Structure 1
Amino acid sequence: MNKIILLVFTVLITCFTLNAQESKYGIRIGANLSSLNSDNITGDLDQSRIGVVVGFLADYRLTNKLRIQPELQYSGQGNKDRDLRVNYLQLPILLKYNITDVFNVQLGPQAGIKIWEWEDNQAGTTDFGTFDFAGVIGVGANITDNFFVDLRYALGFANVFDEGAGVNIDGTSRNIQLSVGYRL
């Protein structure tokens, strides 16, 4: 996990030091429809949580069609059950391929660090781990030169539950994210 985090931060630092001709910065805000995937939790995991996502982005041109977009975002995730709610500070690093001037596809890794979880869990079995790691795929559309919309799907690869808490629970996160944004 430390190697993954080091790789993500190395890519981020490289992105910020690029001497790109067309660098843009902006903000995104939207909604998540998130859930957890686990065979170890009893109850209804099909009830997804609707959460908010808000963040900052940098958009760097690599070629005429290819861009890299590192972001720093807050994301409310988990399930509808309050004991299964968790919020992350995430760092997605997306490669964007512009199919046309309007439409693009996005792909990349996303590292997350837990910043909040529901504290009043009765069972004591849903302690979340500190880190999450996911793969992100998405599509985007430029409404104007500055305004855009994104639709993304993130599939977690790491166990989101704390393995050191003495409880043997495995589970991964997944979410669909719809957002609007503004680039300066």
Structure 2
Amino acid sequence: MKKALLTSTLLLFISLSFSQGNGATKYGIRAGINISNMDFDPAPTERNLHRNGFHFGGFAEFSLSEKLWLNTELLWSAEGAKDENWRANYLSLPVQLKFLVGDRLSLGVGPQIGVKTWKSSDAFDTLNFSGVAGIQYQIFGDYFIEVRGVYGFTNMLDDTLAPLEAKQFVIQASIGIKI
């Protein structure tokens, strides 16, 4: 049931991303670093639960009004923990409402669904549902920097590892260009 709900949510946001509001659309690419941390319950001992990684991908922004945009992305992201057994990489689809709060500054918030693309073990569930919030600043022209937080709502681990659960928090720092 959980996977059906997540899949339905993904399809809803994809279909929303193709509605073009007042017609203004911007596309671009982004890349940056991740700092991820896994929070286990109950907490395992002697594990490095932190991992530095990277992400890259593309995006499309659709104008809904002068100050409101719908941002959809497709990102590949290296996440999990430093320990080889707790690494996981995801193909993520964040969907954010972006609010322009100045000429160069915007705030974004929304859901994200991730699909596991690589595993070092069978420990990780295939889907990961998260919330995303960030702040973006246009450096000059079409170049920007962005910092965002991604908080996992779902247990990252497969049900076979119950009662062990893990949720993840990722900080992403990006640079990108709108083309």
Q: Which residue of 1 aligns with 2:154?
A: 158
Residue 159 of structure 2 corresponds to residue 173 of structure 1? no
Query: Identical aligned pairs, as a percentage?
Result: 31
> Separation in 2 of the partners of 1:142 and 1:52?
21
Task: With the length of structure 1 as denominator, give the TM-score of the two structures.
Answer: 0.90
1:24-77 CA-partner distances (Å, limit 9, x unpaired): 111110000001111234124564201110011001111111101010000000
How many matched pairs?
A: 177
> Separation in 2 of the partners of 1:166 and 1:99?
44
Q: Which residue of 2 aligns with 1:28?
A: 30
Q: Which residue of 2 aligns with 1:148?
A: 144
Query: Secondary structure in 2 aligned to 1:42?
Result: coil
Pick aligned residue for 2:123 from 127, 141, 153: 127
Q: Which residue of 1 aligns with 2:106?
A: 104
> Separation in 2 of the partners of 1:22 and 1:15?
13
C-alpha contact (below 8 Å) 1:25/1:58 kept by paired residues? yes
Structure 1 runs (4+) deviating above 6 angstroms are: none
1:23-102 matched pairs, under 5 angstroms:
23-44=25-46, 47-102=49-104
Q: Using the TM superposition, give the Cα deviation of residue 22 of structure 1 relative to its aligned residue in structure 2, in angstroms.
A: 1.5
Q: Going by fraction, where is strand more abundant, 1 or 2?
A: 2
Q: Which residue of 2 aligns with 1:182?
A: 177
Q: Using the TM superposition, give the Cα deviation of residue 166 of structure 1 relative to its aligned residue in structure 2, in angstroms.
A: 5.1
Task: With the length of structure 2 as denominator, give the TM-score of the two structures.
Answer: 0.92
Q: Using the TM superposition, give the Cα deviation of residue 19 of structure 1 relative to its aligned residue in structure 2, in angstroms.
A: 5.0
> Separation in 1 of the partners of 2:100 and 2:164?
40
Q: Using the TM superposition, give the Cα deviation of residue 14 of structure 1 relative to its aligned residue in structure 2, in angstroms.
A: 2.3
C-alpha contact (below 8 Å) 2:38/2:167 kept by paired residues? yes
> Separation in 2 of the partners of 1:148 and 1:49?
25
Q: Using the TM superposition, give the Cα deviation of residue 8 of structure 1 relative to its aligned residue in structure 2, in angstroms.
A: 2.4
C-alpha contact (below 8 Å) 1:35/1:46 kept by paired residues? no
The unaligned stretches of length 5 or more in structure 1 are: 120-125
Query: Secondary structure in 1 aligned to 2:5?
Result: helix
Query: Secondary structure in 1 aligned to 2:7?
Result: helix
Instruction: Identify the range of structure 1 (2-11 vs 22-31) with the bigger mean alpha-carbon deviation.
Output: 2-11
Gap change, CA 1:45 and 1:175, over 3 Å in 2: farther
Gap change, CA 1:101 and 1:44, over 3 Å in 2: farther
Question: AA paired with 2:168?
Answer: S
Query: Secondary structure in 1 aligned to 2:107?
Result: strand
What is the Cα-based RMSD across aligned positions, in Å? 1.6
> Separation in 2 of the partners of 1:159 and 1:47?
15
